[in-house]
Amino acid sequence: MKPEERIIQLTQELIDHNRRYYIEDNPIISDYEFDRLMKELSLLEQSYPSLADPNSPTKRVGGGVTKDFMSKSHRFPMYSLDNSYSLEDVKEWINRIKKRLSQENKDEVFELSFCCELKYDGASVSITYKNGELIEAITRGDGTQGDDITTNVRTIKTVPLKLKPPFPKDFDIRGEVILSRSAFDELNQKRQLKGFPVFMNPRNTASGSLKLQDSSEVSKRNLDCFLYGIVSDNQIYHSQYELLQKTRSMGFFVPDHSALCHSVEEIESFIQYWDKKRRSLNYEIDGIVIKVDRVDLQKELGFTAKSPRWAIAFKFQAEEVTTELNSVVFQVGRTGAITPVANLTPVLLGGTIVKRASLHNADQIDKLDLYFGDTVTVEKGGEIIPKITGVKKEMRKRNSIKVSFTKECPECGSTLERPEGEAAYYCSNHLRCAPQVIGRIQHFASRKAMDIDGIGDETIAQLVNEGLIRDVADLYQLEYHRLISLDRMADTSVNNLLEGVEKSKSKPFEKVLFGLGIRMVGETVAKKLVKSFPTIDALFSANLEALSEIPDIGLKIAESIVSFRNDKANITLIERLREFGLQMEKVIEESVQVNSVFTNKKVVVSGVFSSFSRDELKSKLEGLGAIIQSSISSKTDLVIAGENMGPSKLQKAESLGIRMLSESEFLEML
């Protein structure tokens, strides 16, 4: 047999044996025989390197070294899930779904089914397959981009390198990389024998393992990957439950602890069963994921800025411990908000040592009725952030001193202010209060904002403390001869910093807007604002009513924008940034036809379409310069009406005299 033929034969045999052993738990050859075949393939690949396959079974043992993990954009966003902590939350979510579907489709009665799955506590990953072969793997990151960890993921034995047919031609599959309890214990035992410090918990160990530079070390960690969802340009499956069965047959590791539920009672039964049984599993779960089963209804429901409307996570009650409150410190954030933080006697909670816990605000301190030295109960909110949930008042010591909220800024001594209707107190000295100045510049330079390479948080603090910068515009006036004289600044680091600052001038307008740090204007809100107001001048000229009408903005955010633009210091800052060459208007892509009949028209899309999904149609309209609205109002210019448009929307459009286009009329206009 020719070498290339034997390599193909061995590759297929080993893939099949690997699937039988790790996925199906049904091996048909001994470990010795498996190792013999693997060695033969490895020797052939060494002798004929041009015949080696990047997805060869030999890649499981690793060997590739990644010095820097390149950031890559996700082909499809990785959304996070909304959390619920009670069955009432789940019921309310189901009612919202039914209401939304009935508004869009008045004539259809929805008998909803839900796919319930375990919520694995690991590190999220997205893996791309084309023509049945693994192409790349990316961490979740911020949901829009993450780190390329392909080399390390190839070492995970429960991730198929080649799929068993039939399979879709091109798709991304999402999952959680986890470390089983038994593998975690075995790893720590080996570390103890070598005198190394032990790891604290499986989740953090799994996440850290994915970023090890040497993939051969990753292969020794015995990671697993549980897959649970597919995204693609085309609809591949009709239901989530079907998706789980089909992906399992392709060779993916999909645990069979899922159920198709047809009522709240069945969902409750599933939750209660696994709340009791979860500790008997060989891996950690922190809740149950509940998804609308029908994929067409998932598309109908769509997404909010952060989460799918068709799925929710029910979180199990968090672990709780008791410890002693030693002191309270007050921290100043970049917006001037004062956050109280409790210093605690160190205690083990959820696999990590907890020394500090958030007290949120003055109202929370009063509600808890805290005294120094109190014995307090602590849990991890959402099993992530430690928080004090109660006080053992019967254990309170005599002559204890009550905890009270500070009246002055702990950094600059300014009197605090509490805006009407808000829970937080703020330091109003935003121009000279050092933590605010440093925080604003750190936010501006951060990855999600201007992404300035070569300037970390410590460097920014140093530059502020040395008096070289006082605001974000000062970054663009930094000079080599001033920087090189600072501690820990060498020629390379100074040049990298200046190069990073210069490159940031090309960042798009929405990044600049987010980087300004306007209260309540996060990354998603900034994008929405730029869609409606493509220049800084248009945005800052808009009145409160115009700002409030933008979908998902609301009065509070609009008031925050108006307050920001009414501050002369902020307008001066904007003008300085403009002079330095930062982008203060949206760059219109070639695909956007600014002179189309839809340019700047406020359009509502409703009903079902045969040529597009609703999301595709909205994207098409945005490409033609339209402004998409979620509901019909007197400001709406046009409605694109598909089949089964809701009667209430139809009636409102007709009563307001708004022009309506059918799908065929829209296509003719194109």
Higher pLDDT, 385 or 474: 474
Give the tens place of pLDDT for each residue, 133-144.
999 999 988 788
pLDDT score of 465 more than 80: yes
CB 547 within 8 A of CB 561: yes
Identify the active-site residue in 119, 380, 511, 586.
119
pLDDT score of 289 more than 70: yes
Cα–Cα distances in Å, from 536 out to 402, 583, 584?
48, 9, 5
Give the tens place of pLDDT for each residue, 470-519.
999 999 999 999 999 888 888 999 999 999 999 999 999 999 999 999 98
Q: What is the pLDDT of residue 23?
A: 61
Q: How confident is the model at residue 104 (pLDDT cuts 50, 70, 90)?
A: low
Task: Look up residue 452 and give its amino acid.
Answer: I
What's the mean pLDDT when you consider all of the chain? 86
Higher pLDDT, 243 or 47: 243
Cα–Cα distances in Å, from 567 out to 277, 430, 562, 617, 650?
57, 12, 9, 40, 43
Cα–Cα distances in Å, from 656 out to 85, 631, 659, 663?
42, 13, 9, 21
pLDDT score of 590 more than 60: no
Helices (H), 469-585: 480-483, 491-503, 509-515, 523-532, 536-541, 544-548, 554-565, 568-579
Q: Judge if pTM exceeds 0.75.
A: no
Write the CB contacts of 513 (distance below 8 Å, at least 6 apart in sequence). Answer: 521, 526, 529, 530, 536, 539
> What is the token pair recorded at 545?
């009513």
For the segment 563-567, the average pLDDT, to the nearest whole number, is: 93
Percentage of the residues of the chain whose pLDDT score is greater than 90 = 47
Q: What is the pLDDT of residue 38?
A: 78
For the segment 565-581, the average pLDDT, to the nearest whole number, is: 94
Classify each residue of 535-547 as buried b or exposed e, where b means 16 or more C-beta atoms within 10 Å of its C-beta. ebeebbebeeeeb
Write the CB contacts of 444 (distance below 8 Å, at least 6 apart in sequence). Answer: 450, 452, 472, 475, 515, 516, 517
Higher pLDDT, 1 or 389: 389
For the segment 351-356, the average pLDDT, to the nearest whole number, is: 83
Q: Which CB contacts under 8 angstroms, 24+ apart, belong to 338-342? A: 338/405, 338/406, 338/409, 338/410, 338/416, 338/424, 338/425, 338/426, 338/427, 339/424, 340/364, 340/365, 340/405, 342/376, 342/388
Higher pLDDT, 657 or 345: 345
pLDDT score of 422 more than 70: yes
Please provide the distance, in angstroms rounded to a whole number, between the alpha carbons at the two ends of the chain: 59
pLDDT score of 406 more than 90: yes
- Phi-psi label, residue 336: left if phi above 0, alpha if psi -120 to 50, beta otherwise: left
Q: What is the pLDDT of residue 198?
A: 79
Q: What is the pLDDT of residue 652?
A: 81
CB 402 within 8 A of CB 417: no
Ranked by mean pLDDT, which of 30-39, 273-282, 549-558 comes out on top?
Answer: 273-282
- The total of other beta-carbon atoms located within 10 Å of residue 489's CB is 17
Write the CB contacts of 68 (distance below 8 Å, at least 6 apart in sequence). Answer: none
Domains and CATH numbers, the chain: 3-61 (1.10.287.610), 91-315 (3.30.470.30), 320-429 (2.40.50.140), 434-506 (1.10.150.20), 509-579 (1.10.150.20), 602-669 (3.40.50.10190)
Q: Which of 407, 440, 420 is nearest to 338 (CA)?
A: 407
**119 catalytic per annotation:** yes
Give the tens place of pLDDT for each residue, 454-464.
898 899 999 99
Beta strands (DSSP E) in 568-618 are 602-606
For the segment 93-115, the average pLDDT, to the nearest whole number, is: 79
Q: What is the pLDDT of residue 597?
A: 82
pLDDT score of 109 more than 80: no
CB 500 within 8 A of CB 452: yes
Backbone φ and ψ of 390, nearest 5° = -170, 170
Q: How confident is the model at residue 57 (pLDDT cuts 50, 70, 90)?
A: confident
Give the tens place of pLDDT for each residue, 162-217.
998 889 999 999 999 999 999 999 998 988 888 877 787 888 889 889 988 888 88
Percentage of the residues of the chain whose pLDDT score is greater than 70 = 93
Write the CB contacts of 247 (distance below 8 Å, at least 6 apart in sequence). Answer: 173, 227, 230, 254
Q: How confident is the model at residue 592 (pLDDT cuts 50, 70, 90)?
A: very low
Higher pLDDT, 309 or 71: 309
What is the Cα–Cα distance from 64 to 127, expressed in whole angstroms?
18
Give the tens place of pLDDT for each residue, 306-353.
789 999 999 887 778 999 999 999 999 888 999 999 999 999 886 678
Peptide bond into 49 cis (omega under 30): no
Backbone φ and ψ of 593, nearest 5° = -90, 90
Ordered DSSP codes for 274-299: HHHHGGGSSS-EEEEEEEESBHHHHH
Q: What is the pLDDT of residue 591?
A: 46
What is the Cα–Cα distance from 313 to 384, expressed in whole angstroms?
15
Q: What is the pLDDT of residue 367?
A: 92
